[in-house]
Every structure is written in C-alpha cells, then in structure tokens.
Amino acid sequence: MQRIFDIIFSGIALVLLSPLFLPLMFILRVTGEGEIFFPQCRVGRGRKHFKLYKFATMLKDSPNMATGTVTVKNDPRVLPMGGFLRKTKINELPQLINIINGDMSLIGPRPQTQRCFNAFSLSSQNVIVKVRPGLSGIGSIVFRNEEEMMHANNDPDKFYDVIVMPYKGKLEEWYVRNLSIRLYFQLIFITIYVVVFPRGKTVWAMLKKLPDPPKSLIKWL
C-alpha cells in the first residue's frame, strides 16, 4: 500500500514542481561549477547500492575534502546557490525520481553513504535495510539541524560517529518496527510542518514513544 502512495504522490509532485525545476536547472548550469545534479552512491534496501540524486549544492570533489560526507554549517564547499537549496530542502527533490524508480520511498530511514552507514551499530544496520530508504523520515526530521550541530562541535567526525549516528540508528529502528500507513502519513505531515516551522517540536508532541536522546543532544533536538 505504501508503494502505491509513493508512486501517486511522487508523480503528482514532479508534475506540480516542473515549473520550479526548469528555471532552477538553468541557474545551476550557469553558476557554480555548471553541474545540475549530484548523483551519489547510497546504501538501500537489502544493502543494495543505488545512485541517489540531488540538485548540486557543493563542489564536485567535496566528498574528498574537509569533513568528507559530513556537512557542517557554513561549509566552505557549498556553492553560491547551494545554501538556499539546502536550507529549504529543495536540493532533495530530485529524489522523487528515485522514488518512482523504486529505490526509495517518501518516508523511510535516510539513505546513507557507505561510510555513514558503517557508523550505525550492526543491529541498527540489520533492521534499517529491511525497508526502502526515504526522502524524509524520523531520523531526517529529528536531525534537521544536523549541520548546525556538527558546526558547533570541535571534533565533528567523532561527534557524528559516537553520538549522532548511534541515536539516529535507534530512531530508524523505531520507525521500521512501528511501520504502518498511519505512521507514514504522520511523518509526511510532520515533514511539511518542520519545513515551514523549522524550530517546532511537533515530532515530540505527535510521537510520544520515540527513543530518548542522549543528554549531549537534548539541547539540539
């Protein structure tokens, strides 16, 4: 049933957003490095790798620079148009094509690069790969301020691996174990809400039984 809703909603979104995509693609072509899309290998269902598509927001060689696949606030690798696209999450919209292709769902665990996926505990990995990864999901919603969080830490790589990813893994496990059409629609609503009101606490009000965050993350969440 979720797959049917994915196809319907993604198809409608692609049609409605096409007037936005065309001028945006032109702007990206004539600015930055001239790239429109940024394809990146991510871990999907069953540990199968697939190419995830985003609008290009960073330098092409950014995965081999600075903090690699971990992005921080005011990251110098972000292109002139990239900051706006990342803040509004518009850069994620080409993943609607991934959803149509069956690599992803509208809602699910966020697809990670292999390096970031390896930072999950083995138990989290084994649960997460049971479902399609999502354009949005509980991990994406709770960690919507992740770049600010990483920027404020003196050792972002260690903080990411030791604090962020273990808790994010627990959140994604929670989603898989509580998967239902009701939760699917709840998370779609919460995603839209936090895009409009990014400082809201809706996720904690609507979903009462989420795993408790570690103390070092509470102020950010």
pLDDT at 27: 84
Per-residue pLDDT reduced to its tens digit, 126-139: 999 999 999 999 99
pLDDT at 74: 58
Per-residue pLDDT reduced to its tens digit, 92-148: 999 999 999 999 999 999 999 999 999 999 999 999 999 999 999 999 999 988 878
> Other CB atoms closer than 10 Å to residue 69's CB: what's the count?
14
The pTM is what?
Answer: 0.86
All structural domains of the chain with their residue ranges: 2-218
- Give me the torsion for CA of 114, 84, 218, 168, rounded to 10°: -20
pLDDT at 43: 98
DSSP 45: G
pLDDT-flagged residues of the chain (< 70): 32, 60-76, 200
